[in-house]
Amino acid sequence: MTDFLLCTLYAPLASWGDIAVGEVRGSSDRPSRSALLGLIGAALGLDRLDQDAHDALDRGYGVAVRLDAVGTSLADYHTAQTVASAALKGTRPGTRRALLASDEPQTILSRRGYRQDACATAAIWVREEARWPLAAIRDALRAPHFVPYAGRKANPFGLPLDPTIVEGTTLADVLQQQTRLRSTLGEMLPRLRWLPPGDREVAHDPCDGFSSGLEKRRRETRRDAAPQRERWQFSNRTVEIGVVRTGQVEGAT
């Protein structure tokens, strides 16, 4: 039997990161591995400059995400002030105020992608090198050190994360059990576009020492591994995509 920490991730507006090319900043339809580890790191109170701690998170935990409500996409148009990169050679302004004071400001345009009313269930398990037990992460998510948010600081979560430790023989076992949201949240559920009962996709890390129990569908490559938090750099990783059979979610229509 393996212990898993399960969380509900719902936000009215979320941005789960994707490949950023030029002025376009897209969003995936589900939280990435780096987003989940960043959320845990914020709850634990890890400083962005503490690369050793972020490396420990990356080595010590496996994650899986089941998408429950796909939501809808939203594109937001942004303008911002910055300075030409040529003006910053050999310097590294410590604040935005110092950055804008270093040269004549110029306006840049960008398009940001968001997901509206998407909901996912995350499962986290420990590996041999885990520094924090699941119980410590659960307690931190219940009373986080830094305010948690869904990808960007302007995106608060719309429901409690409700971190819960459950036991199962496979990943599929625990994700099949976790299909009913708390009835006390029922008033908010009709606004969500729940995926119908049946085979639901799960994006997951390799399962170490236990079976996933999922029907394998495909593999994808995502740039969300080995995060360098200070520089916002990430490496490629292979993501396993399987399916799990689920029942009706409470409150779904």
CATH number of the domain within which 132 lies = 3.30.70.2660
Q: Say if 140 falls within a structural domain.
A: yes
Q: In percent, how much of the chain has pLDDT > 90?
A: 24
Highest mean pLDDT among 66-70, 192-196, 219-223: 66-70
Indicate the residue type of 46. L
Q: Say if 179 falls within a structural domain.
A: yes
Q: In 107-181, which ranges are continuous DSSP H helix?
A: 134-142, 171-177
Tokens at 45, concatenated: 């109170």
What pLDDT is stored for residue 156 in this prediction? 94
Q: Say if 110 falls within a structural domain.
A: no
User: From CA 236, how far away is CA 25, in angstroms rounded?
Assistant: 18
User: From CA 24, how far away is CA 29, in angstroms rounded?
Assistant: 16
Q: Say if 167 falls within a structural domain.
A: yes
Q: Say if 79 falls within a structural domain.
A: no
Q: Say if 108 falls within a structural domain.
A: no
What pLDDT is stored for residue 174 in this prediction? 87
- The region of weakest confidence among 7-16, 51-60, 204-213 is 204-213
What pLDDT is stored for residue 182 in this prediction? 43
**Residues forming beta bridges with residue 126, ordered by sequence position:** 61
Q: Say if 23 falls within a structural domain.
A: yes
Whether 206 contacts 194, CB under 8 Å = no
pTM for this entry: 0.79
Strands (E), 83-197: 106-126, 164-168
User: From CA 217, how far away is CA 219, in angstroms rounded?
Assistant: 7
Please give the residue range of the domain that contains residue 47. 2-72+117-246
User: From CA 203, how far away is CA 224, in angstroms rounded?
Assistant: 13
Q: In percent, how much of the chain has pLDDT > 70?
A: 82
Higher pLDDT, 110 or 24: 110
Total domain count for the chain? 1
Q: What is the pLDDT of residues 132-178, one digit of tens each?
A: 999 999 999 999 999 999 988 889 998 889 899 999 889 888 888 65
**245 to each of 118, 148, 178, 224, how far by Cα in Å?**
19, 30, 11, 27
Query: Kind of pairing, strands 61-69 and 233-246?
Result: unpaired
Q: Say if 104 falls within a structural domain.
A: no
Mean pLDDT of the chain: 81
